[in-house]
Amino acid sequence: MTVSVASTPAVGPDTSAAGTTADRDGLSVWPRSATPAADADVLVGGVSLTEAADRFGTPVYVLDETEVRERCRSYRTAFPEADIVYAAKAFLCRAMVRWVQEEGLGLDVCSAGELALAAAAGFPPEKIVMHGNAKSPEDLETAVRLGVGRIVVDSTSEIARLAAIVPAGSRQRVMVRVVPGIAAGGHTKVRTGTEDQKFGLSITDGSAQHAVARVLAQPRLELVGLHCHIGSQITTVKPYLAAVRRLTGLLARIRDQHGVQLPQLNIGGGHGIAYRPGEDTLDVPVLAGRVRAELEEGCHRADLTVPRLTLEPGRAVVGPAGVVVYRVLAVKRTGTRTFVAVDGGMSDNPRPALYGVRYAPRLIGRHSVAPPDLVTVVGRHCEAGDVLADDVPLAGDVRPGDLIAVPAAGAYHLSMASGYNLVGRPPVVAVVNGIARTLVRRESLDDMSRRDVGL
């Protein structure tokens, strides 16, 4: 079943039909605060994007703080009895840590670096979950030292290594990441619930059951539940229900074999958002109702106590809250195509090159009466694959100096950014109530040169 976020405005954009977003002056996939302004400008959080570009330079990432907070609250409303844990990999900075904490969410980290940033921002370690298919010794040692609430075990070799660093007389709470054998997600590279990929432990071949037994045999580890993450950019409820059924079955087998009823079940995140008008999104309230019913029914059949749920949304919290603004550097017309080159590209957004993601860029800052042409928006980097948006309509008179804004840019842009061609990473600017402030400053040439210490 394909559904949308129509029933809860605070989780997604306005909708007019199940599974699709309604057009809102062409801003349906923008932050809800986005409104058209004079001279073809757009206001986000009451802040002019053209003024933000002038003030902070381009490229610039603009993040609507109110939207982020409302999306956090919407998850808590939809799942009032669950733990909502923000997936830091989507985007992390100290301000984001604070917003998540103030809205009552936990935090999911994948490295000692993400964990250290969260700790420096004062996030309670007991509300942190540590992930990773190949955790380094530093990752595990930092997690144990800081006292993170749960560590998700992703391989059998990790079990002994983790137990060896837990201090005598204490116990570290862990979950076992299970592969339920479910294919879900917007691209093959983000489908993580299938067999024969790098994440988790398979139910089918017995690896998950073997890991459970090994954890239970470690006196310094406390097995508190099972975990799965079946993929990303999922827009239907059905795969989550299948995962719940399979993990409930495993919970029953663990009870029968080991006499232990595990109190927690983490079904991950991967909730899909719309990048272009008309695309499907995941209806979070519908997900909540269907998952809750499936879990309760399965536990009743198996005579199990219903475990406490955990969810790990990332993209669905921060993705729709972000807009990136680029400046056009060049326009090149070939025999069959028009290329519009901007001052960013795959160094600040590698997703189109990795997954073929498509966006809906918009010309802002000047009115154009020229009919639209199909153009390809490309970046400035030395790769033919540095394409930000392929075959998209823009004003036929687009020219150097114009501003182009791309919505749905809050997740997996800067968190995946690189130093390719030594082009500094853009700043992140928060907007709220007409006020803009820098959260993460632009990376300078001096920043990059300081790391180069040898001749």
Per residue in 144-168, pLDDT (tens digit) is 999 999 999 999 999 999 999 999 9
Q: 156 with 27, same domain?
A: no
Res 22 pLDDT > 70: no
> Which among 317, 332, 359 is the end of a domain?
317
**And the tokens for 319?**
């993705």
Asked if the peptide bond before residue 263 counts as cis, ω within 30 degrees of 0, the response is no
Do residues 312 and 406 both lie within one domain?
no
Higher-scoring residue by pLDDT: 182, 215: 215
Return the pLDDT at 182: 77
Q: Are residues 36 and 70 in the same domain?
A: no
The residue ranges of DSSP E strands in 379-442, in sequence order, are 387-395, 403-407, 428-432, 435-440
Give residue 435's identity as a one-letter amino acid code: I
Specify the DSSP element, H or E, that contains 288.
helix 284-302
- The tokens describing 361, both together, are 């860029």
What is residue 230's predicted lDDT score, i.e. its pLDDT? 86
Residue 2, in any domain of the structure: no
Q: Write down the mean pLDDT value for the chain.
A: 91
Instruction: Indicate whether 24 pLDDT > 90.
Output: no
Looking at residue 271, its pLDDT comes to: 95
Whether residues 437 and 333 fall in one domain: yes
213 and 345, same domain (yes or no)? no
Cα separation, 273 vs 82, in Å, equals 21
Q: What is the model's pLDDT at position 200?
A: 81
Give the E-state strand segments of 221-316 in sequence order: 221-227, 264-266, 308-311
4-15 pLDDT per residue, tens: 323 333 344 333
Residue 9 lies in a domain: no
In a domain, 1, yes or no: no
Quick one: pLDDT at residue 12?
A: 41
Q: In the prediction, which pLDDT does 5 show?
A: 29
Neighbour count for residue 55 (Cβ, 10 Å): 13
| CA pair distance 113, 129, nearest whole angstrom | 14
**pLDDT mean over 138-148:** 97
Does residue 80 share a domain with residue 35? no
- Does some domain include residue 232? yes
Please, which residues have CB within 8 angstroms of residue 305's CB and are 6 or more apart in sequence?
261, 263, 299
Q: Both 129 and 112 in a single domain? A: yes
Q: What pLDDT score does 183 carry? A: 61
Residue 131 covered by a domain: yes
* pTM (predicted TM-score): 0.91
Question: Span 206-235, mean pLDDT?
Answer: 94
Q: Tell me how far apart the alpha carbons of residues 50 and 73 are, in angstroms, rounded to a whole number.
A: 30
Q: Are residues 87 and 46 in the same domain?
A: no
Is residue 228 among the annotated active site residues?
Answer: no
- For residues 216 and 222, give the distance between their C-alpha atoms in angstroms, rounded to a whole number: 7
CATH code of the domain in which 216 resides: 3.20.20.10
Share of the chain above pLDDT 70, in %: 91
In contact, 147 and 124? CB cutoff 8 Å: no
| pLDDT computed for residue 3 by the predictor | 29
> What is the rounded distance in angstroms from the CA atom of residue 327 to the CA atom of residue 405?
9
Alpha-carbon gap, residue 209 to 390, rounded angstroms: 46
Domain boundary among 317, 340, 363: 317
- Residue 333 and residue 189 share a domain: no
Q: Among 289, 317, 345, which residue terminates a domain?
A: 317
| Residue 97 reports pLDDT greater than 50 | yes
Q: Determine the structural domain holding residue 373 and report its residue range.
A: 15-62+319-449
Segment 332-351 mean pLDDT: 95
Q: Which residue has the higher pLDDT, 400 or 205?
A: 400
Query: What is the band of 184 on the pLDDT scale with cuts at 50, 70, 90?
Result: low
Is 327 part of a structural domain of the chain?
Answer: yes
Lowest-confidence region among 31-35, 125-129, 199-203: 199-203
Q: Active-site residue among 72, 93, 228, 382?
A: 382
The CA radius of gyration of the chain, in Å to the nearest whole number, is 23
Q: Is 5 among the domain residues?
A: no
213 and 346 fall within a common domain: no
What is the arithmetic mean of pLDDT over 176-186? 75
By residue count, the chain amounts to 455
Across 6-10, 202-206, 259-263, the highest mean pLDDT is recorded for 259-263
Same domain as 98, residue 38: no
Q: State the CATH number of the domain containing residue 359.
A: 2.40.37.10
My answer on whether 327 and 299 are in the same domain is no
Residue 122 placed within a domain: yes
**Residue position matching structure tokens 């002019």:** 48
DSSP per residue, 342-393: ES--TTT--HHHHH------EEESS---SPEEEEEEE-SSS-TT-EEEEEEE
Domain count, the chain: 2
Question: Is pLDDT larger for residue 213 or for residue 185?
Answer: 213
Q: How confident is the model at residue 26 (pLDDT cuts 50, 70, 90)?
A: confident
- Which pLDDT band, with edges at 50, 70 and 90, does 356 fall under? confident
Please say if the pLDDT value at position 16 is more than 60: no
